[in-house]
Amino acid sequence: MAYNDLRDWIKTLEKSGELKRVREEVDPILEITEITDRASKSPKGGPALLFENVKGYPGIPVLMNQFGSERRMKLALEVDSLEEVAGRIRALLDVKSPEGFLEKLKMLPMLADIGKFFPKTVSAKDAPCKEAILRENFDVLDFPVLKCWPLDGGRFITLPCVVTRDPKTGKRNVGMYRMQVYDGQTTGMHWQRQKNAAEHLRERLRAAAGKTASAHVHIMAETAGGTTNITLTSQKEDRLEVAVAIGTDPATTFAAIVPAPPEVEEFMIAGFLRQKPVELVRCETVDLEVPAHAEIVLEGYVKLDELRTEGPFGDHTGFYTMEDEYPVFHITCITHRRNPIYASTIVGKPPMEDAWMGKAVERIFLPLMRLTLPEIVDVNLPVEAVFHNLMIVSIRKSYAGQARKVMNGIWAMGQAMFTKCIIVVDEDCDVQDLREVTLRVANNIDPERDIQFTLGPVDSLDHASRLPNYGSKMGIDATRKWAAEGFTRPWPPMIEMDVATKARVDAVWNKLRLT
């Protein structure tokens, strides 16, 4: 049964022995990070942590590391294996046009399932997130927002589900973008320029500036979402409304991070994952809806003509991302549940909680990658390469140049555009076995011939690229080379013992007592 809310989820975590309560007083400034970091470094991820005695915040517990193990990721998505989610996606994609009445009839359960994806709007009285409504005298620092690392530019809300509406299509987007607290009513809004909410803001700017000064849109596009030298009177219509839900049921929180195509509303993804509609409620001061069971909701807007320095922030690369200019979120109203629970996460040197979320995304997205690149057998984004820096792909190679085609396909696919290095191996190489991958790559390449460079957008967190957000990527074709690719030398077989000898040795192995 789908989790109603964060509390329901916490109960399950506790029942499953996955949650530890911390009753010792801890400071939200750095201390919660140090404890969570140490707990997450255990090989299987360490427990979820509920800090019940947070210095300066009596009565507001902080939940950390809720997704921080494979077991919890599966519990969150209510599956025994992440492949199950992939299987459900495959089943959806596999639909053939039904022939005849019986086949149509067989499809009815699936259609009923699809009905569960759509969110449902409930009234405010059925929405726990409205138990307290603060239209004035609110302060976001009334919640235990963490300062994560020593050189961070301030305190950051790290697990927010940020809701915006596409000004053109009216579709909603939910993305997780960190928010640096500037003061009680103002935060940063760190949506990177390639993310959906940044495009919503650009759409608003195009609408506001487009008629007279298209140059402004250019300037805007150069920045993360605002612009420094256009003067737009910030009328209400010159804003992008934003709502932020903190502490939602796990499927909704997870949906905010998945790299879904822009056309797909994350509330539908959450509905698909939990197999029950997400309940939404209208906001008080903006024309948006938020999960009705959220612990805390911040409503407000981002001005079209405002940027502010954001960062530094100790990031999931293991390095700090340095200051940059990002839009500013002005809070117009805060609503919350009685006795709210504050949900957060930290990022830093891997492995951290986001490693487990990333691995779940890797499994779930494989069938979707195969839609465009059906030759892909498996993928591995090693945690240590912080996902976007390295993708290892195995392919069933059927024609010359196919490894390069796959690289280019990946660089063209949504957020996979950020992949700095792609390694392509043949289908008989297990990409999850990094020793095997290393052996193949080191043996199979003629570096000058098999390494390909290209230029394009890179992740905003990349500190090594020649320019912020723009740089090179590398693909390594470690597949066996074919004559059709100009390789006419014989390619040696890999060493393997014959089956009969193996069987004979199996039969006597234990007697030999060699291990």
Could you give the residue numbers annotated as active site?
Answer: 315
Q: C-beta of 313: minimal distance to ligand FMN in Å?
A: 8
Residue 382, CA distances (Å) to 258, 377, 394, 422, 452 in order: 17, 16, 14, 11, 21
62 vs 245 by CB, closer to Mn ion: 245
Choice from 65, 317, 345, 479 touching ligand FMN (CB under 6 A): 345
Choice from 182, 191, 272, 320 touching ligand FMN (CB under 6 A): 191
Please list, residue by residue across 269-284, b when 16 or more beta carbons sit within 10 angstroms of its beta carbon and e when fewer do.
Answer: bbbbbbebbbbbbbbb
By CB under 6 A, is residue 359 in contact with ligand FMN?
Answer: no
By CB under 6 A, is residue 389 in contact with ligand FMN?
Answer: no
Distance CA 134, CA 137 (A): 7
Q: C-beta of 171: minimal distance to Mn ion in Å?
A: 9
250 cis-preceded (ω within 30 degrees of 0): no
By CB under 6 A, is residue 332 in contact with ligand FMN?
Answer: no
Q: Compute the half-sphere exposure of residue 439: CA atoms within 13 Å on the CB side of its CA.
A: 11
Of 122-130, 138-146, 169-177, 383-391, the segment contacting ligand FMN by CB under 6 A is 169-177
Choice from 66, 196, 332, 380 touching Mn ion (CB under 5 A): 196
172 vs 216 by CB, closer to Mn ion: 172
Can you give the three-state secondary structure of 58-116, one letter per residue?
CCCCEEECCCCCHHHHHHHHCCCCHHHHHHHHHHHHCCCCCCHHHHHHHHHHHHHHHHC
CB count, 10 Å around CB of 369?
Answer: 20
Choice from 259, 457, 468, 471 touching ligand FMN (CB under 6 A): 259
Of 32-40, 171-179, 464-472, 484-492, the segment contacting ligand FMN by CB under 6 A is 171-179
Q: C-beta of 312: minimal distance to ligand FMN in Å?
A: 13
196 vs 419 by CB, closer to Mn ion: 196
By CB under 6 A, is residue 48 in contact with ligand FMN?
Answer: no
By CB under 6 A, is residue 196 in contact with ligand FMN?
Answer: yes
Choice from 155, 165, 172, 190 touching ligand FMN (CB under 6 A): 190
Choice from 51, 117, 177, 365 touching ligand FMN (CB under 6 A): 177
By CB under 5 A, is residue 164 in contact with Mn ion?
Answer: no
By CB under 6 A, is residue 357 in contact with ligand FMN?
Answer: yes
CB count, 10 Å around CB of 212?
Answer: 8
Distance CA 44, CA 49 (A): 15
Fill in the DSSP letter of residue 163. E
148 vs 403 by CB, closer to ligand FMN: 148
Distance CA 135, CA 137 (A): 7
Counting residues that bind ligand FMN (by CB under 6 A) gives: 20
By CB under 5 A, is residue 173 in contact with Mn ion?
Answer: yes
By CB under 5 A, is residue 253 in contact with Mn ion?
Answer: no
Distance CA 69, CA 250 (A): 14
The binder of 415, among Mn ion, ligand FMN, none, by C-beta within 5 to 8 A per type, is ligand FMN
Nearest residue to 313 (alpha-carbon basis) of 460, 416, 466: 460
Q: C-beta of 68: minimal distance to ligand FMN in Å?
A: 11
Are the C-beta atoms of residues 85 and 172 closer than 8 Å to each other? no
By CB under 6 A, is residue 250 in contact with ligand FMN?
Answer: no
Residue 401: partners with Cβ closer than 8 Å, 6 or more residues away: 485
Of 191-199, 268-276, 376-384, 500-508, the segment contacting ligand FMN by CB under 6 A is 191-199
- Greatest pairwise CA separation for the chain in angstroms: 87
Q: Which of residues 91-110 bind Mn ion (CB under 5 A)?
A: none
Backbone φ and ψ for 50, nearest 5 degrees, come out as: -115, 105
Residue at shortest CB range from ligand FMN: 175
By CB under 5 A, is residue 192 in contact with Mn ion?
Answer: no
Q: List the x/- string, 101-120, binding to ligand FMN by CB under 6 A.
A: --------------------
Counting residues that bind Mn ion (by CB under 5 A) gives: 3
Please list, residue by residue across 18-48, b when 16 or more beta carbons sit within 10 angstroms of its beta carbon and e when fewer do.
Answer: bbeebeeebbbbebbbebbbebbeeeebbbb
By CB under 6 A, is residue 356 in contact with ligand FMN?
Answer: no
Cα 478 to the center of its chain, rounded Å: 28
Q: Which of residues 125-164 bind ligand FMN (CB under 6 A)?
A: 158
Residue 160, CA distances (Å) to 190, 251, 454 in order: 11, 13, 34
Choice from 217, 257, 269, 328 touching ligand FMN (CB under 6 A): 257
292 vs 347 by CB, closer to ligand FMN: 347
Q: Which two tokens stand for residue 382?
A: 């090693």
Work out the angle at residue 368's Cα, subtended by the Cα atoms of residues 363 and 371, and round it to the nearest 5 degrees: 140
Nearest residue to 284 (alpha-carbon basis) of 134, 162, 175: 134
By CB under 6 A, is residue 7 in contact with ligand FMN?
Answer: no
Q: Which residues bind ligand FMN (CB under 6 A)?
A: 158, 173, 175-178, 190-192, 195-197, 257-259, 345, 347, 354, 357, 415
Q: Which residues bind Mn ion (CB under 5 A)?
A: 173, 196, 260
